[in-house]
Amino acid sequence: MDFGRVITAMVTPFDGDSRIDRETTRRLIDHLIEEQASDSIVVCGTTGESPTLTDEEKLELFRLAVEHAAGRCRIIAGTGSNDTAHSIHLTKEAEKIGVDGILLVAPYYNRPTQRGLYQHFRSIAEATRLPVMLYNVPKRTGVNLEADTVIRLAHDVPNITSVKEATNDIGQATRIIRGTPDHFLLYSGDDEMTLPFMAIGGHGVVSVASHVAGRKMKRMIEAFLEGNVKEAAALHGELSPLFKGLSVFPNPVPVKYALKLQGLDVGGVRPPLANLTEEEQATVRKYIQPS
């Protein structure tokens, strides 16, 4: 399945007591679809603070997103973990709710071999009929999902249809694109790498910045696809300070602050993340609100 060019990895709105804020979540979904032109939304990914969400909260968010989006965009459920059996359970529950796809992060902390990664992803994907997007983010997981493993999974498991490659490794991305079937899509998992990955055959981005600059990011991709490389490069340059500002502190702390500056207060973050101090807020503003 093609999830579109711009997929937003959605933050999870919290109220003052760090509980899920359902009404603000609905407002945020509307904002991402109507104002930021998201083609799909990832619910309960890294940006959604998945490590601090219970299974019950994740299922509630999947259900809320499916019901409120009501077909206006696709909903991708983050059901991956470092426990294969647990991921299978959560994936099956998400499928019952009616999500459109599954995002599976590489297992973190236990650092499996490539053979272990292959078996992990294949077992989960074979437990569902939904399209599966692999998620490689070595700086968070401590393990790299190598190109050969992605290629093997793409050929062996029909419903593994894409990968979110959250690295700046052009060589690895190139090998994945060349070695996988034509229907298999590579998405950048790093906003800054969107245009470079498009240049080697990438399909789009699973984005944080699209919370606040989705339409500009989509235009950058469209300009490149139209052959207007100069416009695409100019837009990349315009967006680059924003990309930097949203990564200067741990995600999703800066983007939650950026949304607040735009008038959509999605609350703070759950521990062990910490909200920005006034000094840190000034640092983020320096990038995202240049004079």
The residues spanned by each domain of the chain are 6-228
Quote the pLDDT of residue 103: 98
| pLDDT at position 2 over 90 | no
pLDDT bin (cut points 50, 70, 90) of residue 64 is very high
What value does the mean pLDDT take over residues 211-234?
Answer: 98
Quote the pLDDT of residue 290: 62
135 assigned to active site: yes
Quote the pLDDT of residue 102: 98
Reported as a single tens digit per residue, the pLDDT across 75-90 is 999 999 999 999 999 9
Task: Work out the mean pLDDT of the chain and round it to a whole number.
Answer: 97
Provide the H-helix boundaries in the chain.
22-30, 55-69, 84-97, 114-125, 138-141, 147-156, 170-179, 194-199, 210-225, 229-245, 253-261, 278-288
164 assigned to active site: yes
Q: Which of 118, 135, 187, 257 is labelled catalytic?
A: 135
Q: Tell me the torsion sign for CA atoms 148, 190, 46, 7.
A: negative
pLDDT bin (cut points 50, 70, 90) of residue 134 is very high
pTM: 0.97
Residue with tokens 């490069």: 233
Question: CB–CB of 41/32 below 8 Å?
Answer: yes
CA distances from 287 to 7, 57, 125, 133, 172 (A): 23, 33, 40, 31, 30
pLDDT bin (cut points 50, 70, 90) of residue 255 is very high
Q: 6-228 domain in CATH 3.20.20.70?
A: yes
Reported as a single tens digit per residue, the pLDDT across 90-112 is 999 999 999 999 999 999 999 99
Retrieve residue 30's tokens.
């509307």
Q: Which of 58, 164, 218, 256 is labelled catalytic?
A: 164
| pLDDT at position 70 over 60 | yes
